[in-house]
Structure 1
Amino acid sequence: MSEDARRAEIAANLDRVRERVAAACAAAGRAAEEVRVIAVTKQYPASDVRVLAGLGVRDVGENRDQEAAPKAAECRDLDLTWHFVGQLQTNKVRSVVRYAHVVHSVDRPRLVTELGRRVRAEGRALTCLVQVNLDPESARGVIGPRGGADCADVPALAEAIEAEEGLSLGGVMAVAPRDGDPLKAFDRLNAVADDIRGRYPHATVISAGMSGDLEAAVERGATHLRIGTALLGDRGLIVG
């Protein structure tokens, strides 16, 4: 596919995503400006990031450090906010804090401690979201296959983030379970978000919703949507 054709494809996809978001916001009685789209560019090249930036997208998400770090370096001349949205192992924290502005997947105390230690060493600041496990079948205290802390453990993690120099609490994030009603899942997340905002009024972010369930997320209060396939196509088909 030529560069011009790829740009036209992404532009058309972005228009459709923005239309979906606007319609979902209207249906929910919300202003479209309340919801930000994070373009999840995993398995896509830096050239696609540049196209998105040229179309006005400023928020870019990645879920694997080995791909995100070089991509962020290649696009360092762009005025972008980089979101790390995947499960994060502590041995990757040193690299991630060098480019990420927001980490969505904070789900355990050890990760909070390591993020704080590494971000201070880099002389940077980092916004953190507590990832909430919305799978009702998961046993309490066990991080699910897609990550996330038990709802009951979220306040303690939020407190730990706020207490860690160099980190700031942005709010919460979750992935709806693959099976089940996303509205019910995002209801649970909204309840957790309400509790966290009651404790920390500045922690207003609700990162929820992807290409297939963004309407449900908007209806239930999402402020940030993590959109990949609807913007860039089926993963792995366009690389390099």
Structure 2
Amino acid sequence: MIHPEPPAGRLAEIAAGLAGVERRIEEACRSAGRSRDELTLIAVTKTYPAADLRLLASLGVRDVGENRDQEAAAKAAECEDLPLTWHFIGQVQTNKARSVVAYADLIHGVDRERLVAALSREAVRQGREVGCLIQVALDDRPERGGARPADVPVLAAALAGAPGLRLRGVMAVAPLGADPGEAFGRLFDVAQAVQKEHPGADVISAGMSGDLAQAIAKGATHLRVGTALLGRRTPFVR
């Protein structure tokens, strides 16, 4: 396969963005008394071309995140030669389970038992084990995506017992207008309760470009960063 060349200077732009994000992570880790090794940086590459993923890989980035299946599937196929871990960070429609399971290593948006069943069927059919995070609705409005905190234990049990799936932890987005630190503190409490029942579920996916420091202070293990890393988004064209 012939891969398009990125624009001149793009590698330098991405390297600068990565350096800036790393400085912010390291500063937040120092403030929180944590080690940088405790954090996984996920480069959110939605709307960015596959050429950017190749540059990220050349700079040592190994985790990438997408939230639209059609775009993600195309990029995963184009970049199958790269040593990347693929995170699906958006809500998964049950009719997309087959496609998402084919490339995703960790699905961040599991929020209902019907989806657990659909993902499990596909994982078994494809002979894969797929990691899953429970998306928690921190504003208690699950219509926006996510399970209410009170519903998380039942969903965690369903995931833990689903063939082909592995419960890895929890994920959330800080609600608009809310104090991210307070929101991520509530997520940490939910995460602790899940891990008490399921010791291997130790992932907390929280924090994006604007609130990564608050997420680190409240125990996040995985950060989802796009704009601060890759710059202003432009429409993705296949």
TM-score with structure 2 setting the length? 0.95
Instruction: Tell whether 2:36 aligns with 1:32.
Output: yes
For 1:93, the equivalent position in structure 2 comes to 97
Instruction: Tell whether 2:65 aligns with 1:66.
Output: no
- 1:235 is matched by which residue type in structure 2? R
Summarize the alignment of residues 205-224 of structure 1 with structure 2, pairs less than 5 Å apart. 205-224=203-222
For 2:181, the equivalent position in structure 1 comes to 183
Alpha-carbon deviations, 1:46-81, whole Å to 9, x = none? 000000000000000000001000100000001110
Please report how far the alpha carbon of residue 238 of structure 1 lies from its aligned counterpart in structure 2 after TM superposition: 7.9
For 2:197, the equivalent position in structure 1 comes to 199
Please report how far the alpha carbon of residue 4 of structure 1 lies from its aligned counterpart in structure 2 after TM superposition: 3.7
- Structure 1 unaligned spans of 5+: none
Summarize the alignment of residues 159-170 of structure 1 with structure 2, pairs less than 5 Å apart. 159-170=157-168
For 1:152, the equivalent position in structure 2 comes to 150
Determine which of 33, 40, 45 is the counterpart of 1:41: 45
**Within 1, Cα distance between the matches of 2:213 and 2:51?**
29
Percentage of matched positions with identical amino acids = 59
**Within 2, Cα distance between the matches of 1:188 and 1:64?**
27
Determine which of 126, 131, 136 is the counterpart of 1:127: 131
Determine which of 55, 58, 61 is the counterpart of 1:57: 61
Aligned to 1:212, the other structure's residue is in SS state: coil
**Within 1, Cα distance between the matches of 2:149 and 2:113?**
14
Aligned to 1:104, the other structure's residue is in SS state: strand
**Within 2, Cα distance between the matches of 1:208 and 1:216?**
9
**Within 1, Cα distance between the matches of 2:52 and 2:196?**
39
Alpha carbons of structure 1 residues 237 and 15: separation in structure 2 relative to 1, 3 Å = farther
**Within 2, Cα distance between the matches of 1:160 and 1:81?**
25
Aligned to 1:61, the other structure's residue is in SS state: strand
- 1:94 is matched by which residue type in structure 2? R
**Within 2, Cα distance between the matches of 1:52 and 1:125?**
26
**Within 2, Cα distance between the matches of 1:96 and 1:80?**
15
- 1:144 is matched by which residue type in structure 2? E
- CA-atom RMSD in angstroms: 1.4
Aligned to 2:92, the other structure's residue is in SS state: coil
Alpha carbons of structure 1 residues 169 and 186: separation in structure 2 relative to 1, 3 Å = same
For 2:11, the equivalent position in structure 1 comes to 7
**Within 1, Cα distance between the matches of 2:237 and 2:45?**
11
Aligned to 1:97, the other structure's residue is in SS state: helix
**Within 1, Cα distance between the matches of 2:128 and 2:236?**
34
For 1:111, the equivalent position in structure 2 comes to 115
**Within 2, Cα distance between the matches of 1:45 and 1:3?**
11
Runs of 4+ more than 4 Å apart: 237-240
**Within 1, Cα distance between the matches of 2:54 and 2:107?**
22
**Within 1, Cα distance between the matches of 2:235 and 2:121?**
38
**Within 2, Cα distance between the matches of 1:237 and 1:125?**
32
For 1:81, the equivalent position in structure 2 comes to 85
Please report how far the alpha carbon of residue 237 of structure 1 lies from its aligned counterpart in structure 2 after TM superposition: 6.5
Q: Is the 8 A contact 2:6 2:51 kept in 1?
A: no
Aligned to 1:79, the other structure's residue is in SS state: coil
Q: Is the 8 A contact 2:73 2:99 kept in 1?
A: yes
Q: Is the 8 A contact 2:6 2:52 kept in 1?
A: no
